Homo-oligomer: A and B are copies of this chain.
Amino acid sequence: MWLPDRASSKPVYRQIAEHFERRIKSGELTAGSPLPAERKLAAELAVNRTTVIQAYEELRASGWVVSKVGSGTVVAGGDASPLRTADWRKYLDVGTMLPNSDAMRRIRSGLRREAGLVDFASGELSEDLFPGETVRSIFSEQPYDGPLGYDDPQGYGPFREALAAFLLRQLRIGTSASSLLITSGSQQSLFLIMQCLLSQGDAVGVETPSYCFSLPLLQSAGLRVYPLQVGPAGIDPEDVVRLHRRHRLKMLFLNPNFQNPTGTVLSAERRAALLRIAEKEGIPIVEDDPFSLTAFDGRPPLPLKAEDAGGRILYVGSLSKVAASGLRVGWLAGPQEIVSRLADARQQMDFGMSVIPQWLAAKLIEGEAFDRQIGRLRAGLALRLDELRASLDYHLSGSVSFEPPGGGLNLWVKWLGDNDPRQLRMLERAMSVGVAYVPGQVFGAEEPSLRLCYAKPEAGQIERGVIRLKEALLRS
Question: Beyond A84-B279, A148-B132, A326-B149, is A184–B143 a contact (Cβ under 8 Å)?
Answer: no
A85-93, A422-430, A445-453 - the one binding chain B: A85-93
Chain A interface size range: 35 or more
A295-303, A307-315, A398-406, A466-474 - the one binding chain B: A307-315
A352 contacts partner chain B, Cβ-Cβ < 8 Å: yes
Listed residue (A140, A148, A174) with the most chain B CB atoms within 10 angstroms of its CB:
A148
Which chain A residues in 100-159 approach chain B with CB under 8 Å?
100, 105, 112, 122, 124-125, 127, 130-132, 135-137, 139-140, 143-152
| CB atoms of B351 and A360 under 8 A apart | no
**Partner among B216, B279, B328, B356 whose Cβ is within 8 Å of the Cβ of A348:** B216
Question: Beyond A33-B336, A150-B326, is A351–B87 a contact (Cβ under 8 Å)?
Answer: no
Q: Which residue of B lies closest to A353 (CB)?
A: B328
| CB atoms of B86 and A335 under 8 A apart | yes
- A337 → chain B, closest Cβ, in Å? 5
| CB atoms of B148 and A191 under 8 A apart | no
Task: Supply 14 A–B pairs (Cβ within 8 Å), ascending by A.
Answer: A27-B312, A88-B311, A91-B284, A94-B199, A124-B149, A127-B149, A140-B143, A148-B324, A148-B325, A191-B350, A326-B356, A353-B354, A354-B356, A356-B360
Chain A: residues with CB nearer than 8 A to chain B?
Answer: 1-2, 22-23, 25-30, 33, 83-88, 91-92, 94-97, 99-100, 105, 112, 122, 124-125, 127, 130-132, 135-137, 139-140, 143-152, 174-179, 183-185, 187-188, 191, 195-199, 215-217, 220, 250, 279, 282, 284, 308-313, 324-329, 334-338, 341, 344-345, 347-357, 360
User: With A28-B311, A99-B345 given, can you name 14 additional A-B contacts, CB distance below 8 Å?
Assistant: A27-B309, A27-B334, A28-B178, A91-B197, A112-B152, A137-B143, A146-B326, A184-B352, A187-B347, A188-B351, A328-B353, A329-B354, A354-B357, A356-B357
